[in-house]
Structure 1
Amino acid sequence: MTWFGRDKSRSVSAEEALPGRAEPLVTPDFHAVFPDRRIKPPFPEGLRTAVFGLGCFWGAERLFWQTSGVYSTAVGYAGGHTPNPTYEEVCSGLTGHTEAVLVVFDPAQVSYEQLLKVFWEGHDPTQGMRQGNDVGTQYRSAAYYVDEAQRTELEASRATFESALKSAGHGTITTEVAPLGEFYYAEDYHQQYLHKVPNGYCGLGGTGVSCPIGLGVTES
């Protein structure tokens, strides 16, 4: 299958996707900003995880590691078909993955709902297969839940924020909401990239619309 001349904003099926590999990519065990904290399991007891995609994962990861109550972060690939993909393969649009951030957090210090506020306000979730000038399926907005409690909070916050966006003149949210499958860690040089390269590219940009938290709409 050719990589060139292909529409990278079109999703691929499992049959079209690149085969990938059985072995994970070589990645570090510890966080560059918090050297005593792991980016891979096992994590300390009581911590929870969440996975978000909001465009280029360099700026997205920094947004979360700077959030109070977040213990650790890592960047990787999620939501697609290809096992253990490389960055080049993901950029080809032939894996189905989006660039994603794994957030390890202490629920006693920051709630999942508060992380959703960071997620929604940190990017424009109405842009489909792009984020700003970054175009392709790997830049799509996505939130992958790990259990039913996260699913409920995620869907409620999406409805609430979509209402706020429409009131401000924005379009419909296009965020992919799905159960988390496998999270594949990205290569070493991507991990905490903007800590290693402080003046590196960050394409992150929100809508300027505030996301209300604690106001999710639920059916009685």
Structure 2
Amino acid sequence: MLNALFGKKATMPTADEALPGRAEAIPTADTHFISGRPLKSPVPEGMEEAMFGMGCFWGVERKFWQLDGTWLTMVGYSGGSTPNPTYHETCTGRTGQNEVVRVIYDPKVISYEDLLKVFWEGHDPTQGNRQGNDVGTQYRSGIYTYSDRQTEAAEESREVYAQRLKAAGYGPITTEIVPASPFYFAEDYHQQYLAKNPGGYCGVGGTGVSCPIGLKA
């Protein structure tokens, strides 16, 4: 039904169908609106990175910047074929890119499993290429991993949470778990959008089903 209503917006384009994009990065903010830290700084020694797609990235980023142990957050596009896409291009459904949040965190303060808990509980991972009223491949649920350990933890948590969701009457999880592909920064106004616009729209909501932090049910 969704494909009939929304056409290619809910269907992943092939590499040949994708928009060409551009070689140069699109302009974005220099610093984080809340912390003032440089958005494009290298990952500090002792810290790690994670990347998630769980619907409109405005609300998703807020969930992660509020966590103790988060050093930096940024929104952008990843998981598709079009290099350095704009927001408008991503919204056409012809880039394959997902709206994502990249998180730099201190594992001595917050674990990757803690981030996975926020991910699973912060949206509905059973909706396919949509999240609530937001429809399109750019709103799909995804975990983009930077190590084998992250992949293992993500896959094991998906198995555990799938059992919890099934018991609550939800359908199968549609979340993709794949190695992280290039991250392309979103435009300036998207970065920390809900800090700049506290009353802004945020179409991200969870199922109400809790997820255990550990890897065992």
Question: What TM-score do the two structures reach when normalised by structure 2?
Answer: 0.95
CA distance in 2, matches of 1:39, 1:104: 10
Aligned Cα RMSD in Å? 1.1
- Alignment-derived partner of residue 126 in structure 2: 126
Unaligned runs of 5+ in 1: none
8 Å CA contact 1:153–1:216 kept in 2: the answer is: no
Q: Report if the CA contact (8 A) 2:43-2:49 is conserved.
A: no
Query: 1:98 corresponds to which residue?
Result: 98
Q: Which runs of 5+ in 2 are unaligned?
A: 1-5
Deviations 1:63-104 (A, max 9, x none): 000111111100000100000000000000000011000001
SS at match of 2:8: coil
The equivalent of 2:32 in structure 1 is 31
8 Å Cα contact 1:53-1:99 kept in structure 2 = yes
CA distance in 2, matches of 1:216, 1:149: 15
- What amino acid sits opposite 2:120 in the alignment? W
The CA distance in 1 between the partners of 2:123 and 2:171, in whole Å, is: 14
Give the match for residue 155 of structure 1.
Answer: 155
Aligned residue runs from structure 1 range 1-220, under 5 A: 6-35=7-36, 37-216=37-216
Distance 1:167 1:185 in 2: 38
- Counterparts in 2 of 1:212 and 1:12: CA distance versus 1, 3 Å: same
Percent identity between matched residues is 60
- Residues in 1 aligned to 2:38 and 2:97: alpha-carbon distance in whole angstroms: 24
Counterpart amino acid of 1:23? E
Q: CA deviation at 1:177?
A: 0.9
Deviations 1:148-203 (A, max 9, x none): 01000000000000110001111100001110010100000000000011100001
Quick one: which amino acid aligns to residue 11 of structure 1?
M
Q: 1:215 and 1:6 mapped to 2: Cα distance?
A: 38
- Where 2:123 maps in the other structure, the secondary structure is coil
Distance 1:93 1:41 in 2: 30
Separation in 2, partners of 1:63, 1:170: 23
Q: Is the 8 A contact 2:153 2:215 kept in 1?
A: no
Q: Is the Cα contact below 8 Å between 1:159 and 1:216 reproduced in 2?
A: no
- Whether contact under 8 Å (1:56, 1:204) holds in the other structure is yes
Match of 2:3 in 1: none
Shift of residue 29, structure 1, vs aligned partner: 2.7
Distance 1:149 1:75 in 2: 23
Instruction: Give the TM-score taking structure 1 as reference length.
Output: 0.94
C-alpha separation in 1, matches of 2:155 and 2:65: 24
- Where do 4+ consecutive residues of structure 1 move more than 3 Å? none
Shift of 1:6: 4.2
Question: For the residues of structure 2 that align with 1:6 and 1:24, how far apart are their CA atoms?
Answer: 29
Residue deviations 1:45-78 (CA, integer Å, cap 9, x gap): 1111000000000000000001111111000001
SS in 2 for 1:8: helix
Aligned partners of 1:50 and 1:102 also within 8 Å: yes
